[in-house]
């Protein structure tokens, strides 16, 4: 009878290990999918920020005269509201990426 109890313990442990492995797989796949979705949304958002910056700066002109003041001010305002990721160096690249 003792052998049957040990076998049952092994079956339960094996079953549980498979259960946990399935949950781990589910969570890892969900996290990868979420990261890809977030990256796609941020790419579109930053492209739109660049497009709007170009539009604002050009004000109907064929070419913009990008002023460092606009980029610095925009960087300061966006960083104050949304945190890091909006440095003047990053912001200066948004319009260029929009035109690419």
pLDDT beyond 60 at 59 = yes
Stated pTM of the model: 0.63
Region 59-86 average pLDDT: 80
Non-local (6+) Cβ contacts of 50 within 8 A are: 94, 95, 96, 97, 98, 99
Amino acid 96: pLDDT:
55
Amino acid 64: pLDDT:
59
Amino acid 1: pLDDT:
47
Encode pLDDT of 3-55 as tens digits: 555 676 767 678 999 999 999 999 999 999 999 999 999 999 989 988 888 88
């Amino acid at each position: 009878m003792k052998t049957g109890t040990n076998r049952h313990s092994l079956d339960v442990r094996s079953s549980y290990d498979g259960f946990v492995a399935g949950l781990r797989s589910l969570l890892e796949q969900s996290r990868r999918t979420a990261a890809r979705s977030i990256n796609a949304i941020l790419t579109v958002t930053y492209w739109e920020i660049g497009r709007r910056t170009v539009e604002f700066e050009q004000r109907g002109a064929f070419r913009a005269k990008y002023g460092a003041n606009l980029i610095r001010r925009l960087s300061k305002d966006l960083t104050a509201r949304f945190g890091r990721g909006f440095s003047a160096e990053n912001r200066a690249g948004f319009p260029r990426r929009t035109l690419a």
